[in-house]
Amino acid sequence: MKIKTRLNIVTILSIGSVIGLYLYLWFSTFQVDQHFEQIDQISDFTNTVSELNLVIENYLEYREQRHLESWNALFNRLTEYEENIEDLSETNVIGNSLSSIESAFELIEKIRGNPDAYPDIIDRYRLLDRATSRIRSDIQMLLTISNNIATNRRQTIREIQVSQQINFLMIMIPVVSFLGYLLYQLRSRIQSSLNILLEGTQEIAKGNLDLRIEVEGNDEHKTLAENFNLMTRQLQEQINKERDAREKAEENQKRWEGLVEQDPNLVMIHFDGEIQFINPAGAQMMGAASPDEVVGKSADNFFLETEHQRRREASITRNGKDEYSPTIRKVYGLDMNERFVQIESVPIKYYGREATQTVGLDITEHIHHERELKKSIEEKTILLQEVHHRVKNNLAVTSGLLYMQRVSTDNPEIASLLGESERRIKTMTLIHELLYSSTDLSSIPIDEYILNLVGLIQKSLDPNENIRVNTNADSFSINVTQAVPCALILNELITNSYKHAFKHGETGTIDINITQNKDNVEFTIRDNGAGIPEEILNDENNTSLGLTIVKTLIRQVEGTFDIRNNDGTIAKIKFKKEANAKTTSNSL
Amino acid sequence: MIASRSVLRSLRIKFYAFLFCCMLTGCYQSESGQHEELQEVAIGVTSTYQGEAATYIAKERGFFEQNGLNVTLKENPSGKLSMRDLIDGVVQIAHVAETPVIYSIMDTSYFKGSDHPPFQIFADKIYSHDIQKIIGRRDHGITEAEDIVGKKVAIYQGTQLDYFFDSFLLEHQILNSEIEIVNMSPEKQIEAIKNGEIDVSVTWEPYSSYIQKELGENAFHIDTDLTYSTLWLSVALNSYASSHPDILAAYLESIKMAQDYIRENPTDAQEILASKTNVPLDVIESLWTEIDFELSLSERMLTLLEDQARWMIRNDLADTTIQNMEELINFGPMEQVHPIGITVVR
């Protein structure tokens, strides 16, 4: 049974007992009051009988009118009492005695009123005596009975009072005993349970979490003990978990500390720039002999931003988590040495606070190497440009010499041959010109080159621009190795179309398509001219210089060459592009 | 160990609870079971008299047995005969009215041939009123008290009717010589007046009711202003009273229990009385208000005894006298059983 239920029972019993006792006492008091009221009424009756006795004696002796009036009044009052008082009306002798008294009184009045009817004086007085005696006897009876009734009432009151006391004890003793028993049981139960719980908690307080508190019964203390045991068990599990976690953390800490201690890179933790932790390598980067010299100082004192770094950091994309992409910072150490450190920061929790962990790599030597390399590259670039420039200039000189010879000869054939040679040299010159004017000295943009080449040829062979040249080239670059043969091949094929496809003064169209599909490059040159004579096409041993150059150069770029007639001439060259060539998405 | 301690504690609590219950129940043990052997008592009663109601109830409801008495009722037609049985040693207690008692004391010839031992009154059991009646036949010319002059009047002599009728004659100024007195028992008077052998019957209840029933409209109840309240005394021989005071007390205790029962169960009491006395229930009901059942030894009783003693002397009915009527009374049993019923001025 639960303690709450027990307490409820005790409370209900207590309240019930109090109410019951109150009702019982109220009822008993009511009963006693009723009896007292009856006694008072009977007492009035007795007093009236006594008065009647006195009045009758006086009247019989003196026959005063006032006594007769008193008699009538008193007798009527007694009759009323007899009718209204319960005890008197229930007792026949009262009414009978009153009736006898009245009859006897009337008889006396009759005798005294008419004494002549009783001529024998002795008999008259005997009769009067007997009537008087009857009245006295009945009055004495009334007094006796009323006194007895009052006595009985008093006795009843005493019995009620005794009964009240006995019943009070009979009710109170078992109720109080039972309540006492319940309270004793309850107290013992609570005390026992509390002692067990108290001892248990003391044991647990000493650290004995293996203890399980056992409380008998099925009450709140049992539940409390079970919950307490559950709490202890969970606490123990939690402690075990935390111990495991702590051990693991300590192990990780040791491992981390070991790693960090031995890490040649910077490992630093700071709150808003204030250094909380730094490993020895980091301290060394700061020019300090030990981490203690650095901890507590602001990281901004060591890491300075150059204008270049500011620009670079401004362009760094922050991912919204205080996580920074690697950046290079110049460090001015306590030893006044300048170092370059590549740092990377991530937000972490450090002792429960938001912190930033920065990992840094000393790249001072790398920076120095880079600078030297850059300087070397710059020097070589200048040198290469100079080479290209000189090659171009030499080729330009050669071309100029050929031009001078061409314009100085009267032989048109020689002039033409010289002109071809001049264009071929210019073709190569154009390549070197593009190379040295470009930032990239190893490849040339093919689309740009084609436009220049077409312009060059057109200027040389069709200054009137009778032949329309449509150029469609993908935007990509090819390296110098392939660029020169390609340039010469294109020069030969375009020149061939200008010179042989159209008669002098004819109009026509040359379509140049240059496409790149992955690493495959295809040149297509089509004209709508007369086409190449079939005997030349079918002659395997054709010794035409132009075709010979083309075939020779095709082999150099390891490509294929196809030429045929189809409403003009179509020449297709395919080869695989070598690496180190840039591609852009722009197209002409 | 803990379990055994718990069991011991539980047993200890149960033992205390048992002890407590025994103490409580012990307070209510009936006293009836303490009696060992019932004592034999014979009581002389008037079988038809309503004043015997308490005796019959005590017998019927076992109150005598409860008080250790095995009572035998000797039923007689009048108290006078019960008195005779007492003197003869047939009964130990006699129920009798006051007049036979006075006769027994003051008239040595009352019980002829008997030099009776002294006896005593130890209780009066009723307060009665108008138990005695005078009934005349209308067809014999009796329509008022004075009409009995010259008529044949039946009366059971030697009973309280003598004193009652004497008062009647005195009230109505009639001389004994002016009427013809016939000594006749109450039972016989019924048939006698019915047959017209007598003109007037002086009798007591329930016989007067029987006569009125028999005569019907022909019956004339002659009223009297000087009413008479007879006593119904319990009388025992002095020798028996002194040797068996406990029996007298037990007897009174039984009567008192019966009187309480009558007050609390009047209907049941009337039915028991009707069955025991063979008096019709309607007669008993009509007379129920004429009697109160209450033990007493009152001053009125003493006054009445003295009145009757004086009456006997005046009428030359006594050949001896009694100096102090109070000496006739044994207050002991009443003081033991019902002291508040004693109202004699001592």
ipTM of the complex in this document: 0.80
- Amino acid at position A124, single letter: R
Q: What pLDDT was estimated at residue B324? A: 87
In angstroms, the CA A476 to CA A395 distance is: 26
Search chain A and give the residue with CA nearest B130: A96
- B17 — pLDDT class (breaks 50, 70, 90): low
- Distance between A112 CA and the closest CA of chain B, angstroms: 13
How far from each other are the two terminal CA atoms of chain A, in whole angstroms? 98
A100 vs B229, B292, B340: nearest CB: B229
Q: What pLDDT was estimated at residue B1? A: 38
Task: Give B248-312 as a DSSP string.
Answer: HHHHHHHHHHHHHHHHH-HHHHHHHHHHHH---HHHHHHHGGGEEEEEEB-HHHHHHHHHHHHHH
**Strands B180-183 and B152-155, bridge-based pairing:** parallel
Whether B72 contacts B64, CB under 8 Å: no
Would you state the structure tokens that stand for residue A429, as one six-digit string? 């010159």
Q: Average the pLDDT over B96-102 and give the result.
A: 91
User: H/E element holding A197?
Assistant: helix A121-205
In angstroms, the CA B332 to CA A140 distance is: 22
The alpha helices in A409-476, defined as continuous H runs, are: 412-437, 446-461
CA distances to A241, A476, A575, A577, A579 from A520, in Å: 65, 12, 6, 6, 12
Averaged confidence pLDDT in chain B: 86
Q: What pLDDT was estimated at residue B12? A: 56
How many C-beta atoms surround the C-beta of residue A239 within 10 A?
13
B300 vs A131, A137, A148: nearest CB: A137
User: CB–CB of A177 and B20 under 8 A?
Assistant: yes
- Distance between B290 CA and the closest CA of chain A, angstroms: 7
- B114 — pLDDT class (breaks 50, 70, 90): low
B300 vs A96, A141, A181: nearest CB: A141
For residue B291, which residues of chain A lie inside 8 Å, CB to CB?
92
| R_g of chain B computed on alpha carbons | 25
B119-128 β-sheet, strand order? B69-76, B39-46, B93-96, B233-237, B119-128, B291-296
Search chain A and give the residue with CA nearest B163: A130
Instruction: List chain A residues with pLDDT less than 50.
Output: 317-322, 581-588
Q: Which of A90, A96, A97 to mutate to test the interface with B (most CBs of B within 10 A)?
A: A96
Determine contact: A89 vs chain B, CB below 8 A: no
In angstroms, the CA A233 to CA A228 distance is: 8
Bridge partners of B70, per DSSP, are B40
> Considering only CA atoms, which of A59, A95, A66 is closest in space to residue A79?
A95
Q: What angle do CA A242, A246, A248 make, to 5 degrees?
A: 115
Q: Which of B15, B230, B298, B340 to mutate to test the interface with A (most CBs of A within 10 A)?
A: B340
In angstroms, the CA A563 to CA A568 distance is: 11
CA distances to A58, A429, A556 from A559, in Å: 179, 23, 8
- Lowest mean pLDDT, pick from A201-215, A464-478, B52-66, B76-90: A201-215
Q: Which long-range contacts (CB under 8 A, 24 or more apart) does A393-402 make?
A: A395/A425, A395/A426, A395/A428, A395/A429, A395/A432, A396/A429, A398/A425, A399/A425, A399/A426, A399/A429
User: CB–CB of A148 and B225 under 8 A?
Assistant: no
Whether A226 contacts A234, CB under 8 Å: no
- Distance between B171 CA and the closest CA of chain A, angstroms: 6
B170 vs A103, A123, A134: nearest CB: A123
How many C-beta atoms surround the C-beta of residue A95 within 10 A?
16
Q: What pLDDT was estimated at residue B95? A: 96
Give the tens place of pLDDT for each residue, B155-167. Answer: 998 888 998 999 8
In angstroms, the CA A448 to CA A514 distance is: 12
A133 vs B24, B224, B307: nearest CB: B307
In angstroms, the CA A570 to CA A528 distance is: 9
Q: What pLDDT was estimated at residue A133? A: 85
- B260 — pLDDT class (breaks 50, 70, 90): very high
Q: Which of A102, A126, A130, A169 to mutate to test the interface with B (most CBs of B within 10 A)?
A: A130
Q: Which of A46, A49, A98, A100 to mutate to test the interface with B (most CBs of B within 10 A)?
A: A100
For residue B289, which residues of chain A lie inside 8 Å, CB to CB?
92, 95-96
pLDDT at position B4 over 50: no
- Distance between A10 CA and the closest CA of chain B, angstroms: 18
Determine contact: A100 vs chain B, CB below 8 A: yes
Bridge partners of B292, per DSSP, are B127
Determine contact: A165 vs chain B, CB below 8 A: no
Q: Which of B14, B23, B50, B127 to mutate to test the interface with A (most CBs of A within 10 A)?
A: B127
| R_g of chain A computed on alpha carbons | 71
Cis amide leading into B339 (omega within 30): no
User: CB–CB of B227 and A174 under 8 A?
Assistant: no
Q: Average the pLDDT over B239-253 and give the result.
A: 95
For residue A147, which residues of chain B lie inside 8 Å, CB to CB?
343
Q: What pLDDT was estimated at residue B90? A: 94
For residue B171, which residues of chain A lie inside 8 Å, CB to CB?
107, 127
Where do the DSSP E strands lie in A173-301?
266-271, 274-278
User: CB–CB of B298 and A144 under 8 A?
Assistant: yes
